[in-house]
């Protein structure tokens, strides 16, 4: 028998990460931040001076990159890339843009498939990303698709990055978010879209707790 999976997909800034971590904690389930894998490969590629247009080198880099999730700092686990702590670098918009560029390469996505599925372990998994419900765990028992207005998503990212001391501007972030959304939604392989059987939740104006409650309410009573 396979461990249950709850998938939470959506665009950047929709609150996926925060909501997924809270839900995983409430259930006592494992958590997969699939975006962190793409970001980690992007960082490893930049460390190795690999050009983002060199698809075959990026595919090799994907196979060669060791990615580990370590102890939690604050709310998020540390991400160790090839033995080095990449937690802070991982959250920058530069890493997000690199991730989104390499995520458009089909062989990179294929190379990360089994690594993502390996996170499915008892008692269950909350998987956060763009294609968790459509490609990686199509048989997930519960699928959620989170959205929020672009303005609100930019503001949330702005606050997050500000708290981390990263210097950004709100209009700049909004532009980057819209560009990344367009790239993620329009790519040929695994484009960002809700699974047919996903429950959509618009989180604009909702608190974290309110969204977490709505997601938990989708689970069968325990």
- 139 vs 222 by CB, closer to ligand C5P: 139
Query: Mask of contacts with ligand C5P, 94-113, x by CB under 6 A?
Result: --x--xx--x----------
The token pair that represents 4 in the structure block: 């249950």
Residue nearest to ligand C5P (CB): 35
For the chain, give the number of residues.
222
Angstrom CA distances, 198 to 3, 41, 123, 134, stand at: 19, 28, 22, 9
- Cα–Cα distance, 26 to 163 (Å, whole number): 25
Crossing angle of helices 170-186 and 93-102, rounded to 10°:
10
**Does the annotation place 220 within a ligand binding site?**
no
d(CA 94, CA 176): 10
Query: Between vectors from CA 94 to CA 169 and to CA 110, what angle results, nearest 5°?
Result: 140
Find the binder of ligand C5P among 7, 12, 20, 203 (CB under 6 A).
Answer: 12
Peptide bond into 161 cis (omega under 30): no
- The 115-154 site mask, x for binding ligand C5P (CB under 6 A), equals --------------xxx-----------------------
Of the two residues 131 and 152, which places its CB atom closer to ligand C5P in the complex? 131
How many angstroms separate the first and last alpha carbons of the chain? 19
Please say which residue, 156 or 180, places its beta carbon nearer to ligand C5P.
180
Hey, how many other C-beta atoms are within 10 angstroms of the C-beta on 167? 6
13 known member of a binding site: yes
The annotation status of 172 as a binding-site residue, yes or no, is no
22 binds ligand C5P (CB under 6 A): no
Which segment (30-38, 50-58, 140-148, 157-165) binds ligand C5P by CB under 6 A?
A: 30-38
> Of 22, 143, 157, 180, which one interacts with ligand C5P (CB under 6 A)?
180
Task: Confirm if 102 and 41 have CB atoms less than 8 A apart.
Answer: yes
List contacts with ligand C5P (CB under 6 A): 12, 34-35, 38-39, 96, 99-100, 103, 129-131, 180, 184
The annotation places the binding site at: 10-18
The annotation places the binding site for ATP at: 10-18
């Amino acid at each position: 028998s396979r461990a249950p999976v709850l998938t939470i997909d959506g665009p950047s800034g929709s609150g996926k990460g925060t909501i997924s971590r809270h839900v995983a904690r409430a259930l006592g389930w494992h958590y997969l931040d699939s975006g962190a894998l793409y970001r980690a490969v992007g960082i490893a590629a930049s460390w190795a001076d690999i050009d983002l247009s060199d698809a075959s080198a990026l595919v090799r880099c994907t196979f060669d990159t060791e990615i580990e999730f370590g102890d939690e700092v604050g709310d998020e686990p540390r991400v160790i890339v090839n033995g080095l702590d990449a937690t802070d670098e991982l959250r920058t918009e530069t890493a997000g843009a690199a991730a989104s560029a390499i995520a458009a390469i089909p062989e990179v996505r294929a190379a990360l498939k089994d690594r993502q599925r390996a996170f499915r372990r008892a008692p269950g998994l909350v998987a956060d990303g763009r294609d968790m419900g459509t490609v990686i765990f199509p048989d997930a028992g519960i699928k959620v698709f989170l959205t929020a207005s672009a303005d609100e998503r930019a503001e949330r990212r702005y606050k997050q990055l500000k708290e981390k001391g990263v210097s950004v501007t709100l209009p700049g972030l909004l532009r980057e978010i819209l560009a990344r959304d367009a790239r993620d939604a329009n790519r040929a392989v695994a484009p960002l879209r809700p699974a047919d059987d996903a429950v959509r939740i618009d989180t604009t104006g909702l608190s974290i707790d309110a969204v977490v409650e709505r997601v938990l309410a989708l689970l069968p009573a325990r």
